[in-house]
Each structure stands twice: as C-alpha cells, then as structure tokens.
Amino acid sequence: MLSAWRAVAAAVLSTSAVIASAQDKPAGIPPEVAADYVRPHQLVDVGGGRKLNLFCMGSGKQTVLFDSGLSDWSVIWALVQPRLAEHARACTYDRAGLGYSDPPQAPRSPIEIVEDMHALVTAAKLGTPLVVVGHSLGGFNMKLYAALYPRDVAGLVLVDPSEDRGYERTRQFLRRRFGAPLAARVELHDVSDLKPALAHFNDCAASAKGNALDPASPGYKQCTDPVRGALGPEIAAERVKHQVTGTYQETVASEFASSVYGDAQSDAAYRMLFRPGAFGSKPLIVLTHSIYDKSDPLEVASKAAWNELHQQTAALSRRGRNVVVPNTHHNIEIDAPGAIVDAVTTVLAELDRPAANKRRRR
C-alpha cells in the first residue's frame, strides 16, 4: 500500500523535503561511539566460510538482536544500541552483502535472510530465547524468524514493520471505511508504481556493476539513502564507502525484488504462519510512524490501512499492542530512538515477571 512498500523504498526513491527534514538533525553521536560503527566486529562463519558481521555491547541475562530495514545495516541503530546496552546485551548484525558481511550466495528472500540469522545465532552462541527488534523489512524478517524458530524468540519489538499480504488483509477494511472507489485507487496506484520501483533498484545495481558509483554524481544520490545527520559525520562518510559498491547496490535490489512487496509467491505460507495468537503470549510491541500527508486522500486511506496491518500483527500475540509514535517518519530509530529503547525495556520488564514467564512457557 501507499505507506507500505513506498515507505520501505522511500530512502532511495526520493530526496523530498519531507524526508530530508527528518534527517537534518544535529549530530547526536560522540566520535568515540561512532568509531564503533565504522569497522567490523565479530565475523561469524554461517556456513561455507561465509561470514556475517556481529556487533554486541552491554551485558545482562537477556540478549536483544536487531535487524535493519532495506538498504541499511548496523549503523542505523547507533542512536539506540548504546542506550539499550545499559539494560541488556544488545547485538546488531549486517545482513549478507551489507555493511561488513560477506556477499550473499542466493537471492535475498526473507527465508534466506532468516536462515542466515538462525545460523548466526547458533554459531555465535547468542543466548536464546532472544528479544528481536526489526525495522521495516527487518521487522518482517524478525516476525518470520519468530514464526519459524519460536524457541529462539522470547519477545519482539517491530519498528514500522513491512507487512505481507497487505491488500488481502486490508481490502475489506478500506472498502468499509473509505468506499470502494478510493480503496481501489490505493491498490491500483501501488500496483502500477511497483514495476518502476523494481526497475529503479535494478538500474542502480547495473550502474554500480564493475565500477563504483561516483559519490558526486546525480546517480549516486538517486541510488542511496539521504544523509542521516543525526548519526554524525563519521558514520555518514562510512555509509558513502559502502553505498557506492556493486555488492551493496545488488543486495538492495535483490532484497526488494524478493521481499513481501516484490514477490507474492510465499503468501500461502505467510497466511498459514501469521494467524491471530500465533505467538502465544510473548511480549510484542509494534511501533508505527505518525507523520503523513493528511491533505491527500490516498495517503489518508493508505495510512489507515498501514495502522490496521500493524494492529493485526500486534494481535499475533495475546500480549501484543501497536503504538503510534508521535512526530516520526518511517525511520523511527532516527526520529525517536528513545521510543524504541522504551519499547524494548518494556518487553524486557515483562519477561522478568515470574507470572509472565510461566504463561510464556505454556
């Protein structure tokens, strides 16, 4: 829907003032903290000699594992991870082909990403069950991980997560609330615009094949995220080094094309997995962005559908809830990192309650 796959792809499909305003905040990361995000850490062999970068800090009986959205890696959590490390062991990782991880060996479908993550958790001997945190496409990855490896997951925080089967799950909702014509316009606009988006990512990958992109070129700006000022200059410079490469551009294109938006062939499996109550009573918090264009009927309808999808995802757990975070765009980890820290610490506190733990084991 309009606020769904477009929100996921917006970072590299638009440089509008709305997006830029969310990123042009004063640098909030000291250089000594930023230094930890511009180098590899533990390179974990996940099979066949292929390694993924894992970065853990803090300590505690509970481990929290983060996954990033499309086009991002561990650096995007630099405003969140250090603060959370005061409460738990906080670990970020780079998906294959991103950050400091080795290139992938297969198309980057959600199942391939989840299997990589499970191999990482096993090889690194991360203490399970984990609290998992994912943003955007990473939020869907974490939802799928919890469904396929339930013993690995104690609780979830999903940050404006991507959603499977969006039209199927909200078509009747949109018709009832906005009428059939507007509901159809939302769906038809998205369907017609998806092919150009897929072509855009493929064009970026082709442009970087064999030769790195020129950071000063218009093509680079079209194929990369806007500068995230809140992360500071050190991380900004490091992002350029990664985003010019063919591996990065190819990985982003593959992840989008194989995602819940680009490939619907897995919908039957998702329909079987994601039923109300499927996650039992595991603590689950969904965080939803709040800023959208209230003057555009298409955006109003699409945002309502986005909220409805997140309400349905929260209902995967008997103790799930959806929270709309004020004054935020899609990248809540940039606009309101404290909201994510608060959500994770709330989940950790719920897991600490003896009665909650007893119910969770049932």
SS (H, E, C) the chain: CCCCHHHHHHHHHCCCHHHHHHHCCCCCCCHHHHHHHCCCCEEEECCCCCEEEEEEECCCCCEEEEECCCCCCHHHHCCCHHHHCCCCEEEEECCCCCCCCCCCCCCCCHHHHHHHHHHHHHHCCCCCCEEEEEECHHHHHHHHHHHHCHHHEEEEEEECCCCCCHHHHHHHHHHHHHCHHHHHHHHHHHHHHHHHHHHHHHHHHHHHCCCCCCCCCHHHHHCCCCCCHHHCHHHHHHHHHHHCCHHHHHHHHHHHHCCCCCCCCCHHHHHHHCCCCCCCCCCEEEEECCCCCCCCHHHHHHHHHHHHHHHHHHCCCCCEEEEECCCCCCCHHHHCHHHHHHHHHHHHHHHHCHHHHHHHHC
In angstroms, the CA 29 to CA 51 distance is 28
Task: Identify the pLDDT of residue 354.
Answer: 66
Task: Identify the pLDDT of residue 192.
Answer: 92
Return the half-sphere exposure (C-beta side, CA atoms, 13 A cut-off) of residue 277. 1
Could you tell me the CATH superfamily of domain 5-361?
A: Alpha/Beta hydrolase fold, catalytic domain (3.40.50.1820)
Q: Residue ranges of the domains in the chain?
A: 5-361
Sign, CA torsion 319/324/325/329: positive
Confidence of residue 26 (pLDDT cuts 50, 70, 90): very low
Q: Is residue 80 scored above 70 in pLDDT?
A: yes
Confidence of residue 155 (pLDDT cuts 50, 70, 90): very high
Two structure tokens written together for 270: 């998702």
pLDDT digits (tens, 9 = 90+) for 290-328: 999 999 999 999 999 999 999 999 999 999 999 999 999
In angstroms, the CA 104 to CA 47 distance is 12
Task: Identify the pLDDT of residue 301.
Answer: 97
Task: Identify the pLDDT of residue 44.
Answer: 98
Q: Which of 1-15, 130-144, 157-171, 275-289 has the lowest mean pLDDT?
A: 1-15
With beta carbons less than 8 A apart as the criterion, state whether 110 and 266 touch: yes
Q: Is residue 255 scored above 50 in pLDDT?
A: yes
pLDDT digits (tens, 9 = 90+) for 86-112: 999 999 999 999 999 999 988 999 999
Task: Identify the pLDDT of residue 7.
Answer: 64
In angstroms, the CA 123 to CA 50 distance is 12
